[in-house]
Structure 1
Amino acid sequence: MLLGSLFALLVAGSLASAQDYTADHNTTSIVGTWSSGTQNVVPGPGFANPAQETFTYPKASGVGYSFSDNGWYELARFRYVGNSSHPECIVGTVVWAHGNYDLLDNGSIILTPIGDGYQQVQSPCNKDNTNFIQDYNVTEMYASWRIFTDVTFGPKLHLFQFDGSPVAPLFRLSDQPNMLPQQKLRNNQVQVVTTTSAGFVTTETIVSKRKEARHEVQRRGWGSLWPVW
């Protein structure tokens, strides 16, 4: 059902009239740096180091996007999920990805990563692996988006999911995109060279799926965070 809805949305994008960019709907360009909530999660070099597969953890959870004028985006997300039965078993996730974005004629927006994204997952009650790094390359699609001007905070970006439900609004931190270089920044492929008994050499390229994180996340202070999408 979900795939059918997404397919219908994509088809409609090629048939619908152009996106309305009048002041009533979008008071400013989407280009710039946006962040939700307390605006602590900001894309760019202060959040992720893809070459080292590390993160600098924000003070609070949230999500941030940067959009350039040449169709490039960067995602930064920090979230956690609580457990009412076991309050000590909070699962925290930090995500970074970047790639190309497309604004379809029907008003939807598609974010397509280039394949070097990653996330760190910490699950203190998981006995097998409490803290690990894994690839994160998920194409995101929002059915529509609008930018309004908040009288207190200025431009505010609203994204709506495929079923029309809104996600947490994003506030513009800057009209310039704060992001890492627009190229592949993480080597998440490994070459495995095998020599057979007959002397033949084969080379296989595989994608790194999951590895133990090199840096343990400090758990103190997590109780002060608030969840976002």
Structure 2
Amino acid sequence: MLIFPFIALLFAASSASAQGNVEYNAAHNVTPITGTWSSGSKHVVTGPGFANPAQETFTYPKTTGVGYSFSDDGWYEIARYRFASNASEPNCIIGTVVWVHGHYELLGNGSIILTPAGDGYQQVQAPCAATSNFIQNYNYTEMFQHWQIVSDVNGGGGPKLQLFQFDGAPVAPLYLLSTEPNMLPKQVLRNVSATS
């Protein structure tokens, strides 16, 4: 299941490297990627107000969305709160809350690689499943094919971060909340030796 994204990553890296390195300039990125970003209503924000890894708990935001933080020393943190519907069983909506952090790398071909520290986790609520509420490890390396930061002309002119998945599909745009990253400490924060 993870083979396809890996092959796509290799293809993207080789095709982009054949084209040369990406030049990041003011026309492409109006601000550095460092800082705290959030989608939509901007209620999903990284940091201590979202997750408590030592207790494996979450503070649920008012609305769904995603938040990212990037530090200038190569750390990232992600906060996600999502629902997935089921057309055949409308009462069986699955809710997922995710927290993960680790190291990111901006590659010369324009890609971003996010490598987790190993202590990420998620809570899944599936009312129609045999186990309706559980916590599990969440530590997946993610790759964004490319990214850009532009001025959000429709939303007040502030910076907007657009990430593109490994296949080039855009994800929900992110809006800059702070030029400082709002993160939990940059170290392993959860004991992952025991099964959760």
The 5-angstrom pairing of residues 1-229 of structure 1 reads 1-12=4-15, 17-126=20-129, 128-151=130-153, 152-190=156-194, 208=195, 210=196
Question: Deviations along 1:139-182, whole A, 9 cap, x unmatched?
Answer: 01000000001131500000011221111100000000000000
Supply the RMSD in Å over aligned alpha carbons. 1.5
- Unaligned runs of 5+ residues in structure 2 are none
Number of matched pairs: 191
Secondary structure of 1:189's counterpart equals coil
Kept in 2, the 8 Å contact 1:33–1:174? The answer is yes
Rg: which structure is higher?
1
* CA–CA separation in structure 2 for the residues paired with 1:68 and 1:39: 19
Kept in 2, the 8 Å contact 1:13–1:104? The answer is no
Report how far residue 16 of structure 1 moved. 5.1
Identity between Structure 1 and Structure 2 (%): 62
Normalised by the size of structure 2, how large is the TM-score?
Answer: 0.92
* CA–CA separation in structure 2 for the residues paired with 1:18 and 1:180: 33
Structure 1 residues 76, 153: closer, same or farther in 2, change over 3 A?
farther
Normalised by the size of structure 1, how large is the TM-score?
Answer: 0.79
* CA–CA separation in structure 1 for the residues paired with 2:55 and 2:157: 35
